[in-house]
Each structure stands twice: as C-alpha cells, then as structure tokens.
A and B are shown apart, each in its own frame.
Chain A
Amino acid sequence: MAEANLSRRERPLSPHIQIYKWTLPFLMSGFHRVTGFVLYFGFALIAWWLIAAASGPSAYANVQWFYGTWIGRLVLLGYTWALIHHTIGGLRHLIWDTGRGLKDREIDWLARATIGGSIVLTLLVAVVSYLVMGGGR
C-alpha cells in the first residue's frame, strides 16, 4: 500500500517550451504544426468546392462568389501559402529522417529555404492565378 501511494506522488515536471529561447528551428517546428492545424480545418473549403461542383450550377456559383470576394481571395492565398509551407517543411523532415541535414548550419539553411521557397512559390501561384483569371476581372 505504501508503495502504491508513492507511485502516485506529485512528480517534478520537465520545463515546457516557454522557457526556451526563440530560435529559428524552434519557430519552424511550431510553424509546421500550426500550418498543419490550419490546413486541417481549411480542408473543409476544398470539400465545399468539390461538393458544390457536384451539386450543380447554382451551388457552384455560391462558391465562386465567395472565392471571388476579397476575403475569399485572402483565404485562398493564405491557404496556398500554408499548404506550400507545410509541404516544403515536410520535405525537410523527410531529409532529416534519412539522418542528413542535422548540423546546425544545415538546419538553419533548410529553415531559410523553407520560408523563402514557400513565399516565392506562393507568389508564383498567385501571379499565375491572376493571369488565368484574365488579369483579375
């Protein structure tokens, strides 16, 4: 009985993330999780688009109206960036899974490449989208 009580005694807790200095790899790790979390709920927007297309012209017109508004476009831009950032960040994790790229300088370089690459590719998608839409009519 004494031993059972001992095992339920308050244990010291290890310090949580708030005590650490905010370094770039630390922020990137958080970013990967946050973008994944946002993309999760944003997937409902993709489902809405596909279901509306399957439902018919009037349902599809509603989706098209929403994605044509400024808020809709901002949501699409943000979602595209989160998706590309999470994808490149995932590639980074896959490289790490092979045991490569784990030196301090490499981690730093990969973090910068992820941020820079995701912004450049998102802008590229935005520009191509603008052109596809006929110059934003």
Chain B
Amino acid sequence: MANDTSPMHNPPTPARYYASAHGGTQTFWHQRITSVAGVPLTVAFIAIVVALLGRNHAAIVQVLGSPLVAIVVILFVATIAYHMWIGMQEIIVDYVHGPVAKYLALFGNMFFCSVVGLASIYAVLKLSSGV
C-alpha cells in the first residue's frame, strides 16, 4: 500500500479524518423526521394564519397566546427551523466550494436558523405569558 501515512496503517485510515465515523446518516434521518413532523404542523399553521387574517391585535394576542395554538406554532417553528438548517447546509455543500466562503455560509446558515427560530419561539412564549 503506497500512501503518505505510515505503512502500519490499513487502507481506510487516510479517509478516516475527513468525516465523523459515527453519524453518517444522522443528518439524512433528521431531515426525514422533521419533514414527517412538518406536514401536519404546516397544515395546522396555515389554518391558524388564515383564521387570524385581518383580526385586530387583541384577538391575535388572545389566539396566539392560547396554549394549544402556542404549542402548535412553537412546534412548527422549531421543526421548520431545524429542517431549514439541514436543507440549506445541503445546498451550501453542493454549490459553495471555496474554503472561506463555505464556512462563512455554513456559519451564516446556523446563525440565521437559530435567530429566526428562537426569536419566533420567544415571541410566542411572550404572548402566552400575557405580559
């Protein structure tokens, strides 16, 4: 075996440092779980938004702050934010190849999904607490 590692190493060794040996299908699997969960949550979220169209602020606060609606919206936001993070990561690694640009994009993806997701969840919790 001619490779630039020690002759004591067996053939898979050079490949071993390029990715985790533990979680190869985890991202794929989580994308599926979040898409399955996302279907009923998306239907419910669209129904909630349509029901709230044109209502005044007091009505919005009352409905979005009620436990059942708040729980559904929080689950929707959390599921979709995670799903978005995985999906955009897939797009980035497909198209962005420059080492700096790739990591900037991957970091930006993480920041965007975290900020949008957590800010939305905070907003619903605030409405629920009635402050």
* Most chain B CB atoms below 10 A, which of A54, A60, A61, A137: A54
Chain A residues with CB under 8 A of B57: 53, 56-57, 60-61
Q: How many residues of B contact A (CB 8 A)?
A: 38
Q: What separation, in Å, do the CA atoms of A33 and B34 have in the docked complex?
A: 16
Given contact pairs A50-B123, A87-B43, A132-B54, a sample of 15 additional A-B residue pairs in the complex whose CB atoms are under 8 Å apart: A36-B88, A43-B80, A46-B77, A47-B120, A50-B64, A50-B124, A51-B119, A51-B123, A53-B61, A53-B64, A54-B126, A57-B56, A87-B39, A91-B39, A129-B50
Main SS of chain A's interface residues?
Answer: helix
**A-contacting residues of B (Cβ < 8 Å)?**
2-4, 32, 35-36, 38-39, 42-43, 46, 50-51, 53-54, 56-58, 60-61, 64, 73, 77, 80-81, 84, 87-88, 91, 112, 116, 119-120, 122-124, 126-127
Q: Which of A19-64 contact B (CB under 8 A)?
A: 33, 36-37, 39-40, 43-44, 46-47, 50-51, 53-54, 56-57, 60-61, 64
**Residues of A near any B CB (own CB < 8 A):** 3-4, 33, 36-37, 39-40, 43-44, 46-47, 50-51, 53-54, 56-57, 60-61, 64, 80, 83-84, 87, 90-91, 93-94, 97, 125, 128-129, 132-134, 137
